Amino acid sequence: MQETLNTTWQEKVKAYAAISEEMGKLHPEILELAYQENWFKLFVPKIYGGPNKKLPEILRLEEELAEADGSLGWTITLCAGAGWFAGFLNPELAAEIFADREVCFAGSGAVGGVAIKTQSGYLLNGKWSYASGALHATIFTANCTLKSENGDDILDENGEPEIKSFILKKEEVNILPGWSYFGLIATGSHAFEVCDLNVDENRTFKINQHIEVADSGFDYPFLQLAETTLTVNSLGMTNHFVKLVEQSFYSRSGLGRYSEAQILFFNSELNRCKEEILNLRAKFYHAFEESWNQLMGDGEINEDTLIEVSSISRKLAHACWKSAATLFPYCGLEAAKKESEINRVWRDIHTASQHALLTFEI
């Protein structure tokens, strides 16, 4: 089964990508493929039924997924990325959650709620935006500021208001439809809210603290984890777009009106963009692998290496966006037709570019 899927899943994803966009969520056939391949559990430890993949392999798979369909790549990246929290959850709770074949985490990194400490746990109220995969998620994660029952902030060891993350079940949240953006439409990245929800103490966690499983990789810094996984999504989408640009330019009915010099100029621009992306891609994976090898070999990553991972992630993401902008004018009106594949990919690239984490190249 695995061998068959490896040779055909890209074709299946391509066949359903436009339909998923029309639906505003991943098509059931694509979701079933994701469940079969354990894509939503990419970061989940083997002890909880995960595929035992590590970040170096996951990054390359996420690049492939995003190249096949931006919405699929983005949804798997964000949902599976939230599943990385498995390493920090109460073990009994984690075992219960991940027993579900169709488990899928959605959530928000923003602090959108308040959690009042009670005798048995917490009372939650809040609203969180941009939860990719919300329409098929089984678990939601939400960050809250902690307060005492009299309304005072609970302070952390540094004297700052304490923030904790919470595990919420799908039946406990209210989905707020609002994902009306022009790209990544099938991610269904809607908002969600909770009102006067009581949760037990064991439904809280903090990342990069108190790792609860004996598995390597959960101490990889969350900032660089997020930067690298988001970057490979822009990379995969851009790989797809560049291929479509080349096909589009040479299949245009009006190609004969261009002079030899103009066609040579297009080829020069196309090759320049390809080479820049390929070179930065190589540097990106080299920097990442250096950081991973340091973590695996030394138990920690030196600061200069982490800075380089962040820097090359941003450079590569920005090169992808700039290449899409450079090449778009050579694609003809088909690229401006909202139902076309090339238009969908272009919209996905530009929607992904608005994630705040990679906004600035510096």
Q: The CATH number of 222-358 is which of 3.40.640.10, 1.20.140.10, 3.10.580.10, 3.40.50.300?
A: 1.20.140.10
Write the pLDDT tens digit of every residue in 139-182. Answer: 999 999 999 999 999 999 899 999 999 999 999 999 999 999 99
Q: Which among 222, 230, 184, 189 has a CA at the least distance from the CA of 358?
A: 230
pLDDT in tens, 183-237: 999 999 999 999 999 999 999 988 766 666 657 677 899 999 999 999 999 999 9
How far is the C-alpha of 151 from the C-alpha of 66, rounded, in Å? Answer: 44
Token couple for 176: 């707020």
Per-residue pLDDT, 4:
45
Decide which of 3.40.30.10, 1.10.540.10, 1.10.1370.30, 3.40.50.150 is the CATH code for 2-88.
1.10.540.10
103-205: CATH number: 2.40.110.10
In angstroms, rounded to a whole number, what is the distance separating the alpha carbons of residues 39 and 79? 9
Domain boundaries, the chain: 2-88, 103-205, 222-358
Terminus-to-terminus CA distance in the chain, angstroms?
45
Amino acid at 296: M
More confident call, 260 vs 86: 260
**Chain segment 298-354, per-residue pLDDT in tens:** 999 999 999 999 999 999 999 999 999 999 999 999 999 999 999 999 999 999 999
pTM: 0.94
- Decide: 197 and 123 in contact? Cβ < 8 Å: yes
- Reported as a pLDDT band with limits 50, 70 and 90, residue 3 is very low
Token code pair at residue 311: 């820097």
DSSP string of 154-216, one letter each residue: PB-TTSSBPEEEEEEEGGG-EEE-----SSSGGG--EEEEEEEEEEEGGGEE-TTSS--SS-T
Answer yes or no: are the C-beta atoms of 168 and 197 closer than 8 Å: yes
Residue 362 pLDDT: 86
Q: Report pLDDT for 298.
A: 95
Quote the radius of gyration of the chain (alpha carbons, Å). 22
* CB neighbours of residue 344 within 10 Å: 27
Sheet hosting strand 204-205, strand order edge to edge: 174-176, 190-200, 121-131, 105-117, 139-147, 163-169, 204-205
Q: Are 41 and 83 in contact (CB under 8 A)?
A: yes
